């Protein structure tokens, strides 16, 4: 029967496309805190559930997007420290997409501001691309993700060994396009 595309299939099929047709983007600041063993972290964007993870160790981190979508997800400590500068700020940066009240709540919950070292290749999914996904979903490093037109397939640059999905609004609010003229903020 039908099955979700595997991460291996995603990398071999989409990485070349991401690198040839995608845009190189730099992620803005992120809020993060140490995860708690046994906590359940659900990634919800615009009312649609993207993934759900129960934390199985006490070294992972919970990340929260500093966008209006505000999705949360879990990453391993190793992956977090590879992608972020370990120096953090106690206070969360002000963005047009996160209210002062939300920032206060996040800080009280233990979230701190980290800066990404990472760039990603990002490619907007087209109607034609959907044909590749018989179930409409694929296996990402942190759970199964649904694919919709306009959402972005992304791969970390320079160590491109995974492909995952970033919701459209989340990408547009949290990433700068890296251009030849240097960096300009891109709010689409």
Show the tokens assigned to 186.
Answer: 């891109």
Q: What's the CA gap between 117 and 4, in Å, rounded?
A: 31
pTM metric for this prediction: 0.65
**Residue pLDDT tens, the chain, 188 long:** 799 999 999 999 999 999 999 999 987 788 999 999 999 998 887 777 877 889 999 899 999 988 887 888 898 999 888 888 888 888 887 777 888 899 999 999 999 999 888 788 999 999 999 999 999 999 998 788 999 999 999 998 887 789 999 989 888 888 877 754 444 443 33
CB burial string 66-96: b at 16+ within 10 A, e below: bbbbbbbbbbeeebbeebbeeebeeebeebe
């Amino acid at each position: 029967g039908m099955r979700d595309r595997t991460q291996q299939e995603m990398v071999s099929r989409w990485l070349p496309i991401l690198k040839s047709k995608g845009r190189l983007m730099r992620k803005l600041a992120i809020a993060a805190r140490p995860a708690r063993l046994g906590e359940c972290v659900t990634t919800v964007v615009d009312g649609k559930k993207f993934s759900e993870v129960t934390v199985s160790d006490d070294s992972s981190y919970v990340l929260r997007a500093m966008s209006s979508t505000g999705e949360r997800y879990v990453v391993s400590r190793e992956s977090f420290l590879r992608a972020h500068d370990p120096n953090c700020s106690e206070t969360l940066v002000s963005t047009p997409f996160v209210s002062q009240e939300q920032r206060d709540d996040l800080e009280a919950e233990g979230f701190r501001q980290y800066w990404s070292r990472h760039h990603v290749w990002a490619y907007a999914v087209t109607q034609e691309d959907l044909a590749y996904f018989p179930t409409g979903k694929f296996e990402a490093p942190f759970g199964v993700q649904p694919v919709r037109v306009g959402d972005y397939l992304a791969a970390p640059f320079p160590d491109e060994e995974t492909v995952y999905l970033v919701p459209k609004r989340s990408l547009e609010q949290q990433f700068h396009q890296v251009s030849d003229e240097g960096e300009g903020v891109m709010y689409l």
